[in-house]
Amino acid sequence: MARPPAKELTERELEVMHVFWERGESTVAQVRDALQAAGRPLAYTTVATLIRILTEKDFLTQTADERPFAYRPQRSFDDVSRRMVGDLVLRLFGGSREQLLVHLIGEQGLTRQERAVLEKILEDEA
């Protein structure tokens, strides 16, 4: 029996999504060129396959019916990152945001700028 397609993003799919989030509506060739410029050369057919998979997973929407086909993000970076971080917290830290924070801060400490941002967030919460 075949496995159902995964709803999570692979590393390569995430790379492609970052191009769409930065550029907006794009063609396969434009995405390939952007990846190439970022030092990640992939074949046109590989990028086309990744875009087809992302469309099937409802991360992208095809916006042009004629060649070259264009696509745009169907889900925002905020939506996807929120879901991925939530999944990380649940799976790795048993749902404990506190354990995640302790791990992140305890690993290397905070820079002045990171501390200021965190203090601002905490002030806004109060």
User: Tell me: the pLDDT tens digits for 16-75?
Assistant: 999 999 999 999 999 999 999 999 999 999 999 999 999 999 999 999 888 999 999 999
pLDDT digits (tens, 9 = 90+) for 70-117: 999 999 999 999 999 999 999 999 999 999 988 888 878 888 998 899
Mapping DSSP to helix (H, G, I), strand (E, B) and coil, where does residue 62 land? strand
Task: Provide the CATH number for the domain formed by 11-73 in this structure.
Answer: 1.10.10.10
Instruction: Report domain extents, the chain.
Output: 11-73, 96-125
Residue of 44, 42, 70, 74 whose CA lies nearest to 56 = 74
Q: What integer pLDDT is reported at residue 1 of this predicted model?
A: 54
Give the DSSP H/E element, type plus range, for residue 18. Answer: helix 11-23
The token pair at 35 is 């990846």
What spatial distance separates the first Cα and last Cα of the chain, rounded to whole Å? 52
Residue 6: pLDDT band by 50, 70, 90 thresholds?
Answer: low
Phi, psi angle pair for 8, to nearest 5° = -75, 160
